[in-house]
Amino acid sequence: MQRPPLKCMIIDPDETASQQLIRAIAECPELQLVATHAHFSEASHIDLAAIDVIFLDIDELGVHSAGFFASVPDACQVVITSRTGRFSSEAFAFNVTDYLVKPLTKQRFDITISKLTALAVSAPQQSDSSLLVKSDGSYHKLAYHDILYVEGLQEYVTFHTTTKKLIVLHSLKKLEQLLPAEFIRTHKSFIVNCQNISSFSSTSIVIGNRSLPVGSNYRKNTYQRLTHHYAPLVG
């Protein structure tokens, strides 16, 4: 089974460096960009457990680095970017995967890719086409492409599929970590399958005959993810 691309997030206030990383990731089939932010505070609503790699400008954090690294799950790799190498010793003390000094070069970025994929190769893989859920005492195999969206209510989630609804004892936050990249958290109560979206705006998403709200804290990431998924954009 081919391993899915590593889901990446960029945190960098340097627009030029950020665009350079975006282009480099786009040219690499092993990576998939899911979010870009200028500052870490803008990404506070994102569940880092759903991210495989963070490209982080450490000049942005400086002395606050320890607090950031404490919040990163063990399975999430961090690649530091910086205009200088002055934070390298502190960064590697937090077990980062690599440290890139700007400006980025293709030869150096290729080395980073090799490190990222080598560390990811031993991680357990999930099915790339379906999810097994338990509802009303029975197990149901749900093909990802049949799931329209998932609705959360306290400790339960409801899978809305093309043919049925299933209520499962599971949290939306934990489910977000299990689903593949085509699923996007768009609201505190909803995860949508972008493969089944009919239309979307900054405040709502239409799937079938249902219009779902986009939460204010999720709007920027939702827009970035959807426009990236459906690129090129016409109009």
Q: What would the pLDDT profile of 75-96 be if each residue is shown by its tens digit?
A: 788 999 988 877 666 666 677 8
- Assigned CATH for 6-120: 3.40.50.2300
pLDDT at 122: 46
pTM, entire model: 0.52
Sheet holding 31-37, edge to edge: 31-37, 6-11, 53-57, 77-82, 98-101
d(C-alpha 111, C-alpha 119), whole Å: 13
> Which residue is associated with the tokens 């759903």?
50
pLDDT at 88: 67
pLDDT along the chain (235 residues), means of 10: 82 92 93 90 76 88 65 81 76 78 92 86 57 83 93 90 91 83 92 92 92 92 78 54
Structure tokens at 92: 């590697």
Domain covering 130-229: architecture: Beta Barrel (2.40)
> Is residue 6 a contact partner of residue 54, using CB atoms and an 8 Å limit?
no
Domain boundaries, the chain: 6-120, 130-229
